[in-house]
Amino acid sequence: MDDSTAVTRVDVAIVGAGPIGLCFANALSRHGVSSMLIDRQPRSAMVDPDSDGREIALTRASQQILDKLDVWSRVEPAERARMRGAKVFDGQSLFAMQIAPDAAKDEPLGCLVPNQVIRRAAYAALQTTTSQTTTSQTTTPGQGEILWRDEQEIVRFQASDTAVDIVLDSGEPVRASLLVAADSRFSTTRRAMGIPVHSYQHGQHMLVCRMHHDQPHDQTAWEWFGHGQTLALLPVDTHCSSVVLTLSPAEMEKQLALSVEAFDADITRRFDARLGPMHRVAEPHRYPLVSVYAERFVGPRQALIGDAAVGMHPVTAHGFNLGLQGLSRLADLIGDARAQGQDIASPWLLRRYQREQRLATAPLFAATLAIVGLYTDDRAPARLLRKAVLRAGEAAWPVKRLIAGHLMRSSD
């Protein structure tokens, strides 16, 4: 890059201002590390994001990270749904494996918050971090300052031993110590970095939709593995839940073509009317199910965070939780390096981030794939195995405690 042009210099360039990119810039700012957030969307879409139908089950550790970033206090109590327990059903059987927290502690199993509320709060929290965020063409941000480049993408970049030189599609040249991809599981930045992924096309689509029902749900989530379909119910308000339905693409087309009345009757039937008649209160959203796990999380002056590193199947509700752990791990390593006057993107630092984040994510990724495989297979041996697992789970199976333990775990 020609040093005579007006080069913008930042510590970290982050591609993707989704919930993970926003929280990462926030965490860096608290360590006095400057960053640039680059997103193809306009800022207006981040100030007040539209609903995408996702209800995010947050672990206690995630709530603590969001609290440190001043995001949690921006989620109104009315927007947090406490989940007191979970039931796992198989087929038409009324038998359910029950997952509950320690009754003596009177603590919820987890907390559900709509994704657009998290994104709105994560964006709002940036406005009050130690320094102002700016869209102006500032070329020398102060300590911890966050520069915005919305409606922008990266055209090309090149890493050297000392920096990574980036060109945005506006033509602006940027020099950073580290380039971070947080641009979703379909990350084009990851591809440009030359990092391959293990990709799993599950061949199914997931529909999410808030529905009202006559019977209360007792703040209990349901996971229901029927034949040819997987259903879940996430408790939102006493008589309102987010319904999650997994079907083949062809079945999903038919489902979405139904009139509102026919849709309501169909979902009521799928749930065996166990909660009485159900009526949809929001537009349904559809997601093709693809899981990805990057072969590497780092490269020379490059790193992946959030779904760009690990795009989980939503069935175990871990994607954002793992992403939060990863961004705070990387921000802390960068903060320590900065405090000691060291390179914030040294190979040693990046390798350490990769090692720790892979250890934290690989077992859950593999377990989630195994669960998806077991519960979406309708052949007789799989059905028998499911029944055995659920019965064993109700009696003693340690996995039950593992699931509850993961949701309840705090970060200390």
Ligand X SMILES: Cc1cc2nc3c(=O)[nH]c(=O)nc-3n(C[C@H](O)[C@H](O)[C@H](O)COP(=O)(O)OP(=O)(O)OC[C@H]3O[C@@H](n4cnc5c(N)ncnc54)[C@H](O)[C@@H]3O)c2cc1C
> Residues in the site for ligand X, rule: CB under 6 A?
15-21, 38-41, 54, 56-57, 115, 153, 182-184, 188, 206, 208, 287, 306-307, 314, 317-321, 323
What is the closest distance, in whole angstroms, from the C-beta atom of residue 237 to ligand X in the complex? 17
Return all residues near 132 (Cβ < 8 A) that are at least 6 apart: 145
What the block records as the tokens of 298 is: 């780092």
The answer to whether 305 touches 353, Cβ cutoff 8 Å, is no
What is the closest distance, in whole angstroms, from the C-beta atom of residue 207 to ligand X in the complex? 9
What is the closest distance, in whole angstroms, from the C-beta atom of residue 336 to ligand X in the complex? 24
Residue 21 or 335: the one with the smaller Cβ distance to ligand X is 21
Phi/psi for 72 (5° steps) reads -60, -40
Question: Distance (Å, rounded) from C-alpha 169 to C-alpha 152?
Answer: 6
What is the closest distance, in whole angstroms, from the C-beta atom of residue 86 to ligand X in the complex? 12
Residue 54 or 210: the one with the smaller Cβ distance to ligand X is 54
Residue 70 or 153: the one with the smaller Cβ distance to ligand X is 153
The residues pairing with 222 across neighbouring beta strands, listed in sequence order, are 87, 233
What the block records as the tokens of 271 is: 């749930």
What is the closest distance, in whole angstroms, from the C-beta atom of residue 320 to ligand X in the complex? 3
What is the closest distance, in whole angstroms, from the C-beta atom of residue 369 to ligand X in the complex? 15
Exposure of 236 by Cβ count < 10 A (0-12 exposed, 13-18 middle, 19+ buried)?
A: buried
What is the closest distance, in whole angstroms, from the C-beta atom of residue 45 to ligand X in the complex? 8
Residues 336, 121, 232, 392, Cα dihedral to 10°? 30
Residue 74 or 119: the one with the smaller Cβ distance to ligand X is 119
The radius of gyration computed from the CA coordinates of the chain, to the nearest angstrom, equals 22
User: In Å, how far are 13, 85, 151, 341 from 43, measured between CA atoms?
Assistant: 17, 37, 8, 34
Residue 56 or 337: the one with the smaller Cβ distance to ligand X is 56
Question: Distance (Å, rounded) from C-alpha 311 to C-alpha 287?
Answer: 13
What is the closest distance, in whole angstroms, from the C-beta atom of residue 306 to ligand X in the complex? 2
Residue 229 or 346: the one with the smaller Cβ distance to ligand X is 229
Residue 235 or 306: the one with the smaller Cβ distance to ligand X is 306
Give one DSSP letter per residue of 8-49, joined into a string.
Answer: EEEEEEEE--SHHHHHHHHHHHHTT--EEEEESS-THHHHSP
Residue 122 or 163: the one with the smaller Cβ distance to ligand X is 122
What is the closest distance, in whole angstroms, from the C-beta atom of residue 174 to ligand X in the complex? 13
Question: Distance (Å, rounded) from C-alpha 249 to C-alpha 321?
Answer: 28
Residue nearest to ligand X (CB): 18
* DSSP code of residue 236: E
How many CB atoms are located within 10 Å of the residue 388 CB?
11
What the block records as the tokens of 167 is: 């060109």
Residue 16 or 299: the one with the smaller Cβ distance to ligand X is 16
What the block records as the tokens of 1 is: 């890059």
